[in-house]
Structures are given as C-alpha cells and as structure tokens.
Amino acid sequence: MTAQPVPAIAPETGVALGGWLQRGVIGAALLVLGTAALAVPLGWVGWWRPAAALPLLALLAIMIARLTRRLPVVRLETGPALGVLLVAVASGWWGAATHSSQVLPRRDAGSNLQAAIALAETGHRILAVPAASIGGPAILDTPGLTLASPAFFEVGTSAAPAIQPQFVIGPAALYSLGHWADGVGGVLILAPWFAALGVLAVGLIAAVVLRGWWGPIAAGGVAILFPVLHTARASYSEPLAMVTLGAGLLAWVLAARADDRRLALAAGILIGGTCLVRIDGLREAVLLLPVAALGIMQGRAWPKPLLLGTGVSVLLALGAALAVSNQYVGQIAASLIPLVVLGIALGLFAAVLIVAGRRGRSLPRSVGRSLPRLAACLALLGGVGLAARPLFMTVRQDPADPGARVVAGLQQRQGLPVDGGRTYAEHTVDWLAWWVGPVALVLALAALAGLAAHLANTWARGQTLPAWTGPYVVAAASTVLTLWRPGITPDHPWAERRLLIALPFVVLLVTAAAAWLWRGAGGRLRSPMVGRSAAVLAILALVIPSAMATWPHRSERVERGSLSPVFALCSALEPGDVVLAVDSRAANEWPQVIRGICARPALSTTSALRAAPGALRAAADRIAAGLPQGGRLVLLAADSPAAITGLGGTPHAVASAEVLEDDRLLEERPEGLVPLRIDVWLAPYGRP
C-alpha cells in the first residue's frame, strides 16, 4: 500500500532552545553508546585509563557534535522547551541529593559500582589475579575455594586465574568515569544525571508530538514516578537505557516526520545499541521490525537506515558481550533465546509484508473498514486480559531455580503460604497501579485503543502513518511482553525495574488523552470548557496518585553509610594480606569489595566447603602455606564471629554499622526502608 507523498521538512536553522535540546539529547545518547563501545577494545587490552580514554572520548564528542548539529528537528516554543529542561534538571538534582550508597554487591547497583571501580583502577575488563598472590597456582584446584562471588565469575585456569564481571560492559565503563573524577563518590552521583537525560528525552517526545506545554507535563509525570527515582538514585543500568532508548525513540519520531535518513540511522544505532548498556534492549530492537516494514511499503526513506543502524549496533553489542561478558551471556541464554526467536519471526513477518506490498496485495475493502474497530478491540481485550489474570492464573517457575528459593524465604518471613515457584507475574498490572493509580491505567488503556484505531484507519486509507507510530508500537509491545513475563525476582521495589518502559508509556498515553480532550476531543465536544476540565482531571488522576505513592520515598538514602564499614575494613588490612571469606554473607558481599576498594587479594568459599569444618581448615592451611614471605592469611566473617572461632581464630570486630535498605515485599507496595546490619570480623589465621 503506497502512501500519499509527504514533503520533506527543512532543517531548523535557528538556535532555539528546543532545537538545541533535541540535538543535545541525541548527541549525548550517542556519546553514551560511544563510551561503552570504546571500552570494549580498550578494556580488552588494559588501556581503559584516563590518559588513553579521555582524549578519544573528547574526539568522539566533537565528531558527534558536528554530526548532530544539522539534524532536522522540530521548532518548539521557548517556554515549553525551557519547562522540559527545568523538569529534567530538577529530577537530576532530586536524585543526586538523595542518592543511594549501594557499595556492597547485594544488588545490581552495587555490582555495577564494583565493576566500575575495577575497570577504572586496572584498565582491564577481565581482571587477572596472580596465582602467587593467593597461595600458588594449585590453590584454586582445592574443592570449595574460588575467586567467584555474586556478579563476578571466576575464569581462566588455576595457573592463570581471572575474574569477569557479570553484566555487559556499558554500565561499568560509564560509571568508571565518575570514579576517575571523584572516586567512589563520583560513581554514586552519576546515575541521577543519566536518568535526568532520560526524563528530558521523554519530555521532548511529548513536546514534539503533542506540542504546547504537554512536554513539561509528561516529563514531570515521569520524574515523580518512584520506580524511575529509585533506579536513578543508584548505579543501575536502567538510567543509561533511559538515555539511549529515549533518545532513539525521539530520533525515530523526528526521522519519520522529516523522512530523514541521518536521523533514522541515529535512531537505529541508539535503539539497537541499548544492548551495550542493557542486554535486554534486544527486545525493543526486534520489535521495530514490523513498523520498518510498513514504512518500506509506504515508500518512505527512513526505514532502511533505521534497520541498518539497528542491525549493526545489535551485532556489535552482542559481539562485545560475547567477547568480555561471555559468562553472563551463557547465564541468561534461556532469556535471550526467546528474543532471538521473536526477532526471526518478526523479521519473516516483515519480509512477507514487504513482498506482499510490492506485489500489489492490499487489504480487502471490508477488512479495511473494520480494521480500526478490530485494532481498538484487541487493545482493550489485551489490557483487560492482563489485568484479570489473578482471577484465573497463578504463574509459577521451576521451584529449584535460585530465585524460587529466594521467594520461598521471603514468603516465610512475610507469613505467606510458602510456594517458592510463584513468580507473581499475574499481578504485573497491579504493580503498575501501585505507582500511577487505577484511573490512570484505565485512561491509558482507552488512549492505547484510540490510537490503535487511528493507526489502523490511517493505514486502511492509504495515508502516511504518523511520526509517532514506531515508538508507540515498540513501547506498547514491550509493555505487553514485560507485563506477561517480567522475568525478575518479584520482591518490591526491586521488581519495579522492569516497569521503566511501561510506566513512562502510561504517562505519555494519559498525557496524549489529556491533550486530545483539551483540544476539543477531535471536534466531538461543543464546549471547550468541558474538554479542558476533563483534561485537567485526567492529569490530576495521574499526578496525584503518583505523587502520593512516591511521597513516603521522597528523601530515602538506601544503604547510606555503607562506605564507613568498607573503609574501616580496608584500614584493618595490611600489605601482604590475603582475605578468605569464611561464612555465607562474607562470601556473597565482600570478596570484590576487598579486591577493588581495599586492593587486597581475596578468596571465597562455597557452601559445601563451609559445611565441612575439617576440609575448610585444610584449605586454609594450604593457602597459608603457599603465601610468600611476609604474607598472612586473614579470615573474614560477616554473619557472626562463629566461623572464625571454629577455625581456631580470635575474631576482632573491625566494622559495625546499621544502614537502611529497601524492603522486600511480595504482595504489597513498599512504603519505606528497613534496617540492615553490616558487621565484619577479622582474624589472622594461625595467630591469636
């Protein structure tokens, strides 16, 4: 089906604030991906050092600025553009003023921080560990002794061991810049400002599509969402993905509007390149295939550059993951394979659409007339079906899965029936309602259905699809897949990380509905006051529940004060010390902290070795005997001093603190933080 021709839109030649912001967000997102990509070869050879990386990054920034300064953009009024910018800056300041201090690798934020420190200080992505520093090349052949700890894999051989961080390299590379600037504190402060760029991108999408003051309203609606604020406060990968994906969708809107190849190429690079900072960005990359096919069928110029940019960036990102994060890729292969299969299926479907279009096939007239109603009904039925799942479905997984054991423990502590295999995935719409309210979800579903009908009607009439079609389809499909299978341990607010596409999408849908009402509902309302009053009520139905849900968390500082016990532990260690973690919490939380921040070798023990005191003592003897002259083996416990006492040591408390951590609820919205004790005991092995 060939669309009516659309005149090309000339680039904006002025220097209005809106134009600078659009180009600036796209350029900043490209620099984020460029930084992650550059870290792959430099981190591979050990050159990720300021002297090597910073000049290359400066050159990259200059190139990106030159390439983006002439991109066609939409001229926005200064007031709304300034409003979007102020909201983004305020969100960044709020996140920075209340940033977390998740230093221990208890969650992904702490793991990313430790990976960033290791990359920044060594220059290497794969961290070599001299065998002599841990007692000799035969030490790791001892059953139960390992360099591995949560989020850090042991790789190499016992003679040449090494450590590989868990996730893709992007977060470590980007957060390492903060470590170069100001140590650990510099890492902790970066995430809020990346998230602010993401808020800016979402606000600009709304400003470009809806015009007027709807951009600042949408940006504000996203900024006050607690899941957005929660991840912005710590070194998670989600703030980085908000930048690249948000800017990519903005570039896609601009590319489709102007039918511009350069913007389309940038959009594809950003959407596909999101895999460099979050591997599950592959989902959004494959979901754009059918939309690109529709664009090709309508004879537009933007789809092919979009596909080229997406394909190349995805392949490079996956190649980088296999090169420097292959253990992680293997670990999550069961989640990636369905996305690959989905991509193949959507690619074949897109090819069929294109071939059918070139052969002159079109929808029968009767189908074309009913297509808008069918699209709207499918959207409504899909939303209602997802919301109603708790009435007829209980989603479970393999009870032997490690996540199932975590869930079982949480159920027991919260007085719930113990069924560790439950994923609670049938309640994902409830999770959304916790943070935006049920009225906003109803409005969003109505808007989703209305826009689906509009797109179907546009296609059936042979008209060019609106510029927002691609982001709408990708966000809607991504939301459905996430709500169907979130794929995360369902403790809250941890699980809300999965909602960082769904929740902003809800905000944009409600904002679009309000804009439609404000402008008279397409001529359906005779009185402007009725429409404007309804628009105000729609925004209030979104903003008030969101603000009330976020209010209890407005000033939370998760694990604030956790650096103090870390520094106390480092001060208690001496040159030549090798630390052996001898209980469960010590093995889970401290080995990489000791290597990265304390700059001392550390070994961990498995649960099987810890359950056999005689074997544990023999392993400790073997390490101590292999250390060079002047070295000593130091036992570390973090659950209690009992493990050290059992090995004949005299434990000394070197750190003790109480911080606040996120609650871990399964069936309720969290309302605050709970205490977390951090205690560390040390004892030189074989000495009093």
Pairing of strands 127-128, 145-146: unpaired
Residue 578 forms beta bridges with which residues? 633
- pLDDT tens sequence across 623-638: 999 998 888 999 999 9
pLDDT per position as a tens digit, 34-49? 999 999 999 999 999 9
| Residue 360: predicted pLDDT | 72
The Cα 600–Cα 590 span in angstroms is 11
Q: Where are the domains of the chain?
A: 366-555, 561-684
State the Cα torsion 319-320-326-330 to the nearest 10°.
-60
Residue 493, preceding bond cis, omega within 30 degrees?
yes
Could you give the C-alpha distances from 232 to 92, 236, 241, 243, 585, in angstroms and in order? 8, 7, 11, 12, 27
Buried-state track 241-253, b at ≥16 Cβ within 10 A, e below 16? bbbbbbbbbbbbb
Each as own residue / partner, the long-range contacts of residues 396-401 (CB below 8 Å, 24 or more positions apart, any chain) are 396/421, 396/422, 396/423, 397/421, 397/422, 397/423
Q: What is the pLDDT of residue 687?
A: 55
CA separation for the pair 306, 366 (Å, rounded): 33
CA–chain centroid gap for 349, Å, is: 29
Which residues contact residue 677 at a Cβ distance below 8 angstroms, ignoring those fewer than 6 apart? 656, 657, 658
Average pLDDT of the segment spanning 54-77: 95
Q: In sequence order, what are the residues at sequence separation of 6 or more whose Cβ sits closer than 8 angstroms to the Cβ of residue 538? A: 443, 510, 513, 514, 517
Q: What mean pLDDT comes out for the span 319-332?
A: 96
Closest CA to 145 of 678, 670, 604: 604
**Average predicted confidence (pLDDT) for the chain:** 94
Band (pLDDT 50/70/90 cuts) for residue 370 is confident
Section 634-655 average pLDDT: 95
Q: What are 447-478's pLDDT values in tens digits?
A: 999 999 999 999 988 899 999 999 999 999 99
Cα–Cα dist 74/80, whole Å: 13
Task: Give me 258's structure tokens.
Answer: 């102007």
